[in-house]
Amino acid sequence: MIPTPLTRVARGLAAALLVAATAAGAQTTAPKVRDTGLENVSSAVFIGNSFFYYNNSLHSHVIGLLQNGTPKRSLRAVSATISASSFSWHDVESYFRPNALSSYSFTADNKIVMNKFERLFDVAIMMDCSQCPVHPSFAPQFFEFAKKHSDTVKKNGAKPVLFMSWAYADAPEMTAGLAEAYTKAGNDNDALVIPAGLAFAKSVAQRPALNLYAADKRHPSMLGTYLSAATTYAALFKTSPVGNPYTAGIDEPTARFLQQVAWDTVNEYLKR
């Protein structure tokens, strides 16, 4: 993510998109892709930045939900993250080279096992920097690299998935712009979009006192990471997280609320 604040131009653009999106119900463009097209997703690479790796990494909480869900599932997952990174910082082709990512793993008793897979990853879940899709200097690059990386993922036998990030706590007008950009990029590249940003907005609207953010008002608190994980679980696996006993240490009533927000958001966005 880019640490500089939004420019006035970017705020104006995002605010205009917010007005249009509100009138349309969420965002002006509807998602065309409602699932990955895979019967089972058993492996994933999460490609992004610190929004992914905060709080012991998003993928670890998705795995927690899968291991405790109904039905129970397993997921081999790894994160390829660079602090503050945009799409353009990642060499996605290199993440699929043989004997690189996931070439070994650790057993429960800390022994190393060398891995060989017919297909390295089923899906690649990708997120751009937190401002890039709505920043006037970076928006064209967002669409350029969404296509470039999606093409690379497909070429390597996996499905591209885009992760819609959230607005900053003090810049809620970002929500609609991010939703519009990610939805358009998903449609352009036949990619499922995980609507985490819309889940954040729904949670804030329903329970504004519930803090989804770290002190910097950008990165996720544990509640924000958990909401993101529940939204990813619902979108990727088409399964409700509501009632899942995995709460990542969050008190049960709060976890149940976040699970419901995730499920409602995914169903509304993907119109399942």
Task: Say what percent of the chain tops pLDDT 70.
Answer: 90
CATH architecture of the region 42-104+111-270: 3-Layer(aba) Sandwich (3.40)
**SS3 (DSSP) at 88:** helix
How far, in Å, are 64, 66, 112, 115, 130 from residue 85 at the CA level?
A: 26, 28, 30, 28, 9
| Pairing assessment for the beta strands 43-48 and 192-194 based on DSSP bridges | unpaired
What pLDDT does residue 27 have?
Answer: 63
Q: Considering the entire predicted model, what is its pTM?
A: 0.90
Question: Are 142 and 165 spatial neighbours (Cβ–Cβ below 8 Å)?
Answer: no
Residue 92: burial class (beta carbons within 10 Å; 0-12, 13-18, 19+):
buried
| Per-position pLDDT tens, the chain of length 272 | 444 444 443 444 444 334 334 333 446 799 999 999 999 999 999 999 999 999 999 999 999 999 999 999 999 999 999 999 999 999 999 999 988 999 999 999 999 999 999 899 999 999 999 999 999 999 999 999 999 999 999 999 999 999 999 999 999 999 999 999 999 999 999 999 999 999 999 999 999 999 999 999 999 999 999 999 999 999 999 999 999 999 999 999 999 999 999 999 999 999 98
* pLDDT tens sequence across 135-152: 999 999 999 999 999 999
d(CA 234, CA 216): 28
Q: Tell me phi and psi for residue 13, to 5 degrees.
A: -60, -45
Task: Sketch the domain layout of the chain as residue ranges.
Answer: 42-104+111-270
d(CA 179, CA 159): 20
The tokens 């995980």 sit on which residue? 194
d(CA 195, CA 11): 21
